[in-house]
Structure 1
């Protein structure tokens, strides 16, 4: 039977005990706490924000543990930025690869720009999240990931748990995206990257910052939504520089993808809670929720559905997502 502490916030000592028992885990917490965990069957990433039983919480004295499936074959590995494409070679034919990558790293850039071109990327489930920091420590701390087999910390690699499932089980990766396209106009960009100045809107070239202002989105609260062969993937706005006109994203835009601005949402928190109330948690292994949902939805202290997990700085469901909740279920 799976341990009752399988997908929840626990104390540091409880997490240590699970690891010493040989439990295979994914762990989220502050760098200070993760650095105290013993070597064992786990991967981890830094985050101090969580959706817990009582709602959203910022915690520096607890870690979030997600138990990887019992009866599975699990291989823990790290991948340098220039090795990330090897993830697909090592991915199981039936199962999933759980990936954690540090925010702001070269490894994340390589993944976000290159993974859509990997062979088999949509055939073998790749799921996970982007590690971050306490926002109070911006400019002072660096996001980290941990390879539990030797309890080592890294700031520019991906840590991966390749999980092979028995033939009678299936991994299911799902996303919750509260945003809808505003299809009144189509946005295109000239090149791939996370920074832009110009764009083309319905065939007319303009500065992207001017487009955002015309839509009342100069604060960047609403993402743009890319049409990836019918799949809607959010790209969130990190910053807008009025002086230079430069707009920076949390994920790259691509020159061959059509984008639309998301429709405005009257009550962000209510919409998010409503969507989560409809989520199926049967066979849940893990879930992660974007820090922007936590902030814009004012989720601190608020319960939004039954899903618990780390609050993250990007979500991985085959590709990199923003302002999205991602779940992994095994059925």
Structure 2
């Protein structure tokens, strides 16, 4: 795979030549692209080869050079359970969903139950806008079949690959689960909002508990999902309404622990990434970008869009999703 920052003209030429592409950038640029084997989503935040940056005049493109074919499609909210219906045998599927949409919520809560969802690698992200434009502009996804932007539903790129290719989809999570029982939470209901939780065997008003104990909400809650540490980030805790809002849903009955504090966010990412990342697809979370002060900072060899949520089969937070397609596999 090849990752590049390109102009609209350069991207258009690649699309017209038949390249299979996953594209990120400003809505005004994506709207100019011709029809072809691509999907796109809005963001203006990126990690580039020189570090994190806001870029409005170019598009970040990942070209899947090993592809032998690709089918873009747009699904409305009702069609989300049919994501796997377009899977190509031995292939990979890329997905984008607009932030704050009904599809965002429904995929986050119900996605794990969609039939066949885990039958092949599914990677992608939640599209966004500049933080100053939240509530003023809607995040969009673009379907290369029509070139049209959508603020609802999901766009998918079902990619066919040769049998010799291997696919490695993984996450980089710099957070570890804490070991303090006072910071261990179990919820009665699944969802993006919670008012109460069981903490060390006692039911508490969650917003008040977070406020009174001066819990650092920049740290995510971390759960063990079948051996993988998965983050749920805290959006806000309001003692007046009693509501705690999350950027991804908590799951009822699962134990979450507040992540251990980091000495240096940026340094933790640099150490976690190491020298890896060149030539791989990746996306990183806007919370990592903000809390880790990644503007001007590199994350190893990883470059890609900074997003409002990451997808590696399920919705993730404060995580870097990476995927490598090895074209030299035996």
Conserved 8 A contact 1:82-1:110? no
Name the counterpart of 1:124: 120
| Secondary structure of 1:255's aligned partner | coil
Name the counterpart of 1:209: 207
| Secondary structure of 2:322's aligned partner | strand
**Cα distance, 1:151 vs. partner?**
0.5
| Secondary structure of 2:32's aligned partner | coil
Name the counterpart of 1:49: 45
Name the counterpart of 2:17: 21
**Cα distance, 1:84 vs. partner?**
1.1
**Among 219, 224, 228, which residue is 2:221 paired with?**
224
User: In the aligned structure 1, how far is the partner of 2:17 from the partner of 2:305?
Assistant: 23
Once the two structures are superposed, residues 73-113 of structure 1 have per-residue CA deviations (whole angstroms, 9 ceiling, x without a partner) of 21111111121111123223312110000001111111111
| Secondary structure of 2:208's aligned partner | helix
User: In the aligned structure 2, how far is the partner of 1:46 from the partner of 1:198?
Assistant: 35
**Among 263, 266, 269, which residue is 1:269 paired with?**
266
Residue 170 to residue 214, structure 1, CA distance change in 2 (3 Å) = farther
Q: TM-score w.r.t. structure 1 length? A: 0.93
Name the counterpart of 2:315: 320
**Among 239, 244, 247, which residue is 1:247 paired with?**
244
| Secondary structure of 2:119's aligned partner | coil
**Cα distance, 1:165 vs. partner?**
1.6
The answer as to 2:300 corresponding to 1:302 is no
Structure 1 unaligned blocks of 5 or more: none
Name the counterpart of 1:288: 283
**Among 79, 87, 110, which residue is 1:83 paired with?**
79
User: In the aligned structure 2, how far is the partner of 1:133 from the partner of 1:288?
Assistant: 15
Residue 12 to residue 71, structure 1, CA distance change in 2 (3 Å) = closer
Name the counterpart of 1:107: 103
Comparing 313-322 with 12-21, greater Cα deviation is found at 12-21
Q: TM-score w.r.t. structure 2 length? A: 0.94
Residue 90 to residue 203, structure 1, CA distance change in 2 (3 Å) = same
User: In the aligned structure 2, how far is the partner of 1:264 from the partner of 1:212?
Assistant: 15
Name the counterpart of 1:135: 131
Conserved 8 A contact 2:92-2:122? yes
**Among 161, 166, 171, which residue is 2:167 paired with?**
171
Name the counterpart of 1:68: 64
**Cα distance, 1:223 vs. partner?**
0.6
Name the counterpart of 1:151: 147
User: In the aligned structure 2, how far is the partner of 1:201 from the partner of 1:256?
Assistant: 12
User: In the aligned structure 2, how far is the partner of 1:91 from the partner of 1:129?
Assistant: 18
| Secondary structure of 1:182's aligned partner | coil
**Cα distance, 1:214 vs. partner?**
5.3
The answer as to 2:20 corresponding to 1:8 is no
Comparing 314-323 with 203-212, greater Cα deviation is found at 203-212
Structure 2 unaligned blocks of 5 or more: none
User: In the aligned structure 2, how far is the partner of 1:149 from the partner of 1:117?
Assistant: 28
User: In the aligned structure 2, how far is the partner of 1:82 from the partner of 1:256?
Assistant: 27
**Cα distance, 1:159 vs. partner?**
0.4
| Secondary structure of 1:299's aligned partner | coil
**Which aligned runs of 4 or more in structure 1 are off by greater than 4 angstroms?**
none
User: In the aligned structure 2, how far is the partner of 1:122 from the partner of 1:88?
Assistant: 8
User: In the aligned structure 1, how far is the partner of 2:147 from the partner of 2:85?
Assistant: 25
